[in-house]
Structure formats: structure tokens, C-alpha cells
Amino acid sequence: MDAWLSQMRDELAVAAGVPARELELSAEDAITLLDLARIAAHESGERTNAPLLCYLVGRAQERGRDLDVLADAIRRTS
């Protein structure tokens, strides 16, 4: 994770009242999320759908869903 993203993670952790380690982003997860963002932008024709889809994926993860399972669902429909 680059310095800017690490700083934003730290700020979000403070705002959410959680340890920064709970918001860690692995290299594999970053690649998956960037792939989902690519799919959203290209398939929908709207670049703004990329961050919105990633937000929805994050919300689904809050409910205990695995990122890979969620990503597979998106990939199957695209």
C-alpha cells in the first residue's frame, strides 16, 4: 500500500474508532478490487460506477462475505 493510501487508512480507522490493522488492504485484495473497478467502468460505460461498486462490495464484506466470493459473483454477471 502506498503512503497516501496508508495515511487515508489511518484517518479512516480513527474516524471509525477501529485499529488501523482492521482496515489493512492486502496486495491480493487490492488487485481484486481494482479488477472489479475495471469491470464496473467498462461494462457499465460509467467510470463513476467503479468506486460505487467497490463501496457495495465493502458493505457486503461487513456482513461477513468473502471478497473472492463477491468478486466471482460480479465476474459471472459481466
pTM above 0.85, yes or no: yes
Query: Residue written as cell 482492521?
Result: 22
To the nearest 10°, report the CA torsion of 6, 21, 53, 50.
Answer: 20
Q: What is the pLDDT of residues 18-30, one digit of tens each?
A: 999 999 999 999 9
Amino acid identity of 78? S
Q: What is the pLDDT of residues 67-78, one digit of tens each?
A: 999 999 999 998
Q: What is the pLDDT of residues 31-65, one digit of tens each?
A: 999 999 999 999 999 999 999 999 999 999 999 99
Angle at 13 between CA 16 and CA 17, to 5 degrees: 40
Closest CA to 22 of 59, 63, 62: 62
Instruction: Give the span between the Cα atoms of 23 and 5, in whole angstroms.
Output: 11
